A and B are shown apart, each in its own frame.
Chain A
């Protein structure tokens, strides 16, 4: 489904600040896989996502989605294949626009936009159904602008928007890190539900070891731009925080362990 071949990204190449963010990573994911990526600050987690979405271009290597080489496609063209949720709840929605307008835009992911209404009556009913299922109390607030929502509500809306058109790949970048603990748990539950329901292929970057172990069916750990650990299947199911600390505690920085 997703294949990264020898992907490499160096920032500030040739200067004193040169930093190898991603060092020749090979990674391939099957359809329906839910991968969690853990690693300390600067391990290259976000850069890896940026390389997949095309937010930044790789120096070397290639990215394939369903066998299609997307390495040289700009971000907005790759968008057809993938939905993304950012850490900052403000980044996933257009604040000055209403809830239904935001959903209307997400509905057209990767499609040609025309002079038809941005929100059609049929789709509006569909959005109300989806919002009802999320139990956020947003189904009656379709015409309110998004800047009136709380962080948790905005992130849940972003989640709905990212998955509305059922992209081949869902990318999440510490999307619960900026929320209060209670809201974070709610959003995470919602995330898992949506991924399971639609059998989405998903990648979730996280800082939190416990979260990385609890969710998903595959876990990789990035360290200094390389894949240090890759656990799937049965092994992943029985994996625990203690075992993680025992096996690669030395490569983990404090803040990763602290958030366990």
Chain B
């Protein structure tokens, strides 16, 4: 009986894990590819949700609403990039500034602190109306979206611009001597990263049936935990493995959290637990003197 209860968390974890995997892919671009610790994410996730929710209740088609929120996420990321590259504001501070300002912007967009979507048609409504267990089409939907975005990102990172972006995070001086404007690459990369994050926010809002001003709080830490879990299991020798690790890590992280909640972890303690998880993962190798750090993640 008890074990069965634990098994019941699997579909939920898959659903949420795949939905948040898009944030993980976004953070792979900023933290791992560009080595830019971008904290805009907390704000741009809620931005994605806010824009999509507001447009949907205003009668705009769900698909078009999602596209607009992706565009908004892209602009938010570019703004962080411009703060850092043009105005020379420290990368962490640039992200915090954008995250803070997005809080006000998101409230403006929604007009209140949350918007219910339970009574309107969302992109998921056709799937939920199917005559089968709700989880099957929803999980498939998020699986397809996550894999499609992963493949798109993998392909992009093997183009000429993708190379220049990877080199910007790897060896900025070198790619500049090859004629690349690294400021543009950083800005573009942060834009794409936050577009991924906003896409996730827009989909999650529709999945959970509401957008909330606080939906992005603590996002960075939990997704970092997911990426660390993923990269411990799948060594990031190539771009394809790195993006795969982000998706797998995201699912496993949600599984761990769901099991924790089942076993009596209070939802309010989640952020504490996640924080401790990240500290342990990053800290233990450092304490084990002499041995080379197992988790060696650029940008983290």
**Which residues of A are in contact with B by a Cβ distance under 8 Å?**
53, 74-77, 79-80, 83-84, 91-97, 101, 104-106, 108-111, 113-119, 145, 161
Contacts and interface: CB of A to CB of B under 8 A. Distances in A.
A118 B178 contact: no
Contacts of A117: 158-160
Contact of A118 (B162, B173, B182): B162
B160 A75 contact: no
Q: Which of B160, B166, B180, B237 has the most CB of A within 10 A?
A: B160
B176 to A, nearest CB: 5
B179 A77 contact: yes
Nearest to B298: A96
B170 interface: yes
Nearest to B178: A109
Interface in B275-300: 298
B64 interface: no
A238 to B, nearest CB: 36
B180 A76 contact: yes
A79 B177 CA distance: 5
B170 A95 contact: yes
Contacts of B163: 97, 101, 104-105, 113, 118
A77 B182 CA distance: 12
B177 to A, nearest CB: 5
Contacts of B180: 76, 79, 113
B175 A105 contact: yes
B176 A79 contact: yes
Interface of B: 156, 158-164, 166-167, 170-171, 173-182, 237, 298
Contacts of B181: 74, 76
A53 B173 CA distance: 12
Contacts of A101: 163, 166
Given A108-B160, A113-B161, A79 B173 contact: no
B176 A75 contact: yes
A94 B166 contact: yes
8 contacts: A95-B171, A97-B166, A105-B163, A108-B179, A110-B179, A111-B179, A113-B160, A114-B160
Contact of B164 (A74, A113, A119): A113
B171 A91 contact: yes
Contacts of A108: 160, 178-179
Contact of A115 (B156, B176, B182, B237): B156
A96 B162 CA distance: 14
Contacts of A94: 166-167, 170-171, 174-175
A75 B171 contact: no
A81 B178 CA distance: 10
Contacts of A53: 177
Given A79-B176, A110-B178, 4 more contacts: A91-B174, A96-B166, A111-B179, A118-B158
